Amino acid sequence: MALGGWGLTQGISSPAPAPTPTTGVSVGNPVQPAENLDALQKAVSFQIQLPEELPEGWTPSAYTAIGGVLAEVRYTDGSGETVLVYRMGEGEDVSGDFQTWAWTDTVETGDGPVTLKGDGTAVFLAVWVRDGLAFSLQSQQGMTAEAILAAAQSVK
């Protein structure tokens, strides 16, 4: 009996394909939360350096290692809101930010150039490279250029 005019006959079916064994290749999650700074340090291959000059009340709230080559520390303010994401690791730009900003400026500091990005009234991102490592500070609400540069230069 033909079905739907396509010349297919009733009762003929193809066997389901046999399952194939997996290759044993598994892709793990490269994002690994760490309980504290010590655990984060053990998860990456370089010495972690944190900014020492931040606005009062900003404290680390979350630590994350990404692929063993990037360390991320999130800071909160007194209200518990994330206000700053700090990253350091291997590469040229570890910020993870690929948007086009209305305003960009590169400032020469005693430790080398720091690129600032923002909307013209506030700076939301600072990126720099020093001693073979890349760094970024990303402000959720925006900061003055002076404040984010002070934070960047306090990373030692």
Q: 117: which 2 tokens?
A: 């990005």
Q: Give me the torsion for CA of 135, 141, 147, 152, rounded to 10°.
A: -10
Q: What is the mean pLDDT of the chain?
A: 87
126-154 pLDDT per residue, tens: 999 999 999 999 999 999 999 999 999 99
Q: Nearest Cα to 104, choosing from 121, 92, 116, 89?
A: 116
16-53 pLDDT per residue, tens: 555 555 555 666 788 999 999 999 999 999 999 999 99
- The answer to whether the beta carbons of residues 67 and 116 sit under 8 Å apart is no
